[in-house]
Amino acid sequence: MKRTGRRHWKVGLSFAVGLMSSGVGADTLRCGSSLINTGDRTFEVERKCGEPVQRDLVGYTLGAHQRREMMREEWVYGPDNGVFSILTFEGNRLVRIETSRAN
């Protein structure tokens, strides 16, 4: 009976650690020996990761009273080991990090 309790505890701990580590990957990206995080400024990302292979103006975010607030851009890096990194900026802040397999 004691062994079963210990086993469930270990399984639960492993599951919790897995959930925590999967959330970190969505907010952080490694560029060489540096890390970038959501909230970083464009100049910080460019200093750490270099020039992206592509920059796209996606549009503008709309604020109160439907006026233009911030430019929305996507920067693409890679492919690195067959994976593209797509970074979305609003204004000059990194708001989203996505990855996509190269075809």
The pTM of this model reads: 0.70
Mean pLDDT for back-to-back runs of 10 residues, the chain (103 residues):
53 43 63 96 98 95 73 95 94 94 85
* Strands of the 54-62 sheet, one edge to the other: 54-62, 68-80, 83-90, 93-101
- Given this model, what pLDDT does residue 85 score? 95
- Given this model, what pLDDT does residue 60 score? 87
Q: Return the DSSP state at 65.
A: G
Please report, for the chain, the start and end positions of each structural domain, with discontinuous segments joined by +.
2-101
Class of domain 2-101: alpha beta
Closest CA to 87 of 48, 22, 47, 37: 37
- CB of 88 closer than 8 Å to CB of 72: yes
- Given this model, what pLDDT does residue 63 score? 62
